[in-house]
Amino acid sequence: MSSDQTPPAVNDVSTQEARMGEGTDDRFNSTLREAFGSTPFILTKFDQFMNWVRGSSMFMLQFGIACCSIEMISTYAIKHDLDRFGAGIPRASPRQADVIVIPGTIVSKFAPRMKRVYDQMPEPKFVISMGSCTISGGPFQEGYNVVKGAEEIIPVDIHVPGCPPRPEALVYGVAKLQERIANGESSPVTVKPYELEQFGDLNQDELVQHLADEIDEDELVMRYNWEDSP
């Protein structure tokens, strides 16, 4: 501060005005300070603060499955630039990520691996399902090999419909997720019919007995009861 300015009279003005008023170095007059009022302290619940932080800095998992991932890449890339929304640059390892976008059709061979990747992400974690395939199986719903939506495997926070959704739609989905996180809303409870479980724990029916020579008791398996799929 330059020396030729008279310091404001203490009694006339509030502390906030004193800090923000004329004559002071206005480089410090941020909107944040304006919002905080007289003190540089915020009083909030720690949870709320953490939620706000979480929503504003999301680490996405670099995870591509099918056609939707091309539009997902476009969303990350130059024109739509998801980074502007604090949704970061994709991380290659699930251990460094807290949001997973599921961009594409999930088939029987891939579902156990996807579950594994999801399990490897640290808590708290969030899931955006992108495209009709992850909602219901999409155009491939009637396929013999297609899992009818991501929610059959893992819980999903936000569904972005479309085939494929436009990048704008994905950005909207991400923004909505941020809003949810900031509000501390937890992910919906979902029915997960397909779990990874040990082969020995399955009900002993015809199929299990048939496969008993091929699969060890303690091997992890996923059992698909297509009959019960929506």
Instruction: Decide: 199 and 215 in contact? Cβ < 8 Å.
Output: yes
Instruction: Decide: 100 and 64 in contact? Cβ < 8 Å.
Output: no
**What is the three-class DSSP state of 169?**
helix
The residue within the footprint of ligand SF4, chosen from 55, 104, 167, 173 (CB under 6 A), is 104
The residue within the footprint of ligand SF4, chosen from 92, 163, 207, 211 (CB under 6 A), is 163
Asked if 167 is part of the footprint of ligand SF4 (rule: CB under 6 A), the reply reads no
Hey, what are 8's tokens? 């404001």
Asked if 67 is part of the footprint of ligand SF4 (rule: CB under 6 A), the reply reads yes
Residues that bind other proteins in the complex, under the rule CB under 8 A: 62-67, 69-71, 73-74, 76-79, 89-90, 92, 94, 104-105, 107-114, 116-117, 139-140, 142-146, 163-164, 166, 196, 199, 202, 207-208, 210-211, 214-215, 219-227
Q: Which stretch binds ligand SF4 (CB under 6 A): 7-15, 42-50, 72-80, 133-141?
A: 133-141
DSSP 130: E
Question: Considering CB under 6 A, how many residues would be counted as binding ligand SF4?
Answer: 12
CB neighbour class for 200 (10 Å; exposed up to 12, middle 13-18, buried from 19): middle
Rounded least distance, CB 229 to ligand SF4, Å: 17
Q: Residue 32, Cα to own-chain centre: how many angstroms?
A: 27
Instruction: Decide: 107 and 147 in contact? Cβ < 8 Å.
Output: yes
Nearer to ligand SF4 among residue 18 and residue 67 (C-beta): 67
